[in-house]
Amino acid sequence: MLDIAQLPPEAFRRWDETPDAWFYAAPRFVTHIDAGAIAAVTQLYRELFPPGGGILDVCSSWVSHLPEEVGYREVVGIGMNAAELAANPRLTRRLVHDLNADPRLPLADASLDAAGLCVSVDYLTNPVAVLRDIGRVLRPGGPLVITFSNRCFPTKAIAIWLTLNDPQRCRLVEGCLQAAGLWRDIQTLDRSPGGGDPLYAVVGRRA
């Protein structure tokens, strides 16, 4: 696990420091990982998210990768593009909110049961603050599933992400979750399907 306190501020800067609203102004109705990796994300949610619960999809888009056969009480999506969120059939609440401008989620304490952050942690310039606030919003015991692969928009990824290999990125995300302070049982899973995009998950439970 990386000690986040040892990293210089430059580690969290990006080539493109213009407002994120500019980069995400136009919707992208694409998938960012291949079908096998998406299926691995869905399987993790199937295993870890409580059926009927309230789910938070952080850095949400037009797809949430939730298992189709499972119903949830509510699914709150937070992302940068209103058209993408509007097209997401699983969301019951849609919030356009720049987590780099303000890492606090506009949601009540202990109001949801589980959270996912899929192929997006590398775009957060203050990941520790965002992960801490996700912890504020989740009920005790609630899982947070952070998934990532080996692709990104390089101009918008934090500098350190671009310098690390896949195992080191796992150590970075573990370190961010540890530094956030509200998470227990932090573990990393390699759910790469093989033959396509790799898929890693760092999972924690709200303490």
Ligand X SMILES: C[S@@+](CC[C@H](N)C(=O)[O-])C[C@H]1O[C@@H](n2cnc3c(N)ncnc32)[C@H](O)[C@@H]1O
Residue 202 C-beta: closest distance to ligand X, Å: 15
Q: How many Å apart are CA 193 and CA 203, to the nearest integer? A: 18
Residue 52 C-beta: closest distance to ligand X, Å: 22
- The three-class DSSP label of residue 96 is strand
Using CB under 6 A, list all residues that contact ligand X: 20, 24, 32, 59-61, 63, 79-81, 98-100, 118-120, 123
Which residue's CB is nearer to ligand X, number 115 or number 119?
Answer: 119
Residue 67 C-beta: closest distance to ligand X, Å: 14
Residue 178 C-beta: closest distance to ligand X, Å: 22
Which residue's CB is nearer to ligand X, number 60 or number 178?
Answer: 60
Q: How many Å apart are CA 119 and CA 86, to the nearest integer? A: 20
β-pairing, 183-190 vs 74-79, is unpaired
Which residue's CB is nearer to ligand X, number 6 or number 9?
Answer: 9
Which residue's CB is nearer to ligand X, number 5 or number 26?
Answer: 26
Q: CA gyration radius for the chain?
A: 16
- The three-class DSSP label of residue 75 is strand
| Torsion over CA: 94, 50, 172, 7 (sign) | positive
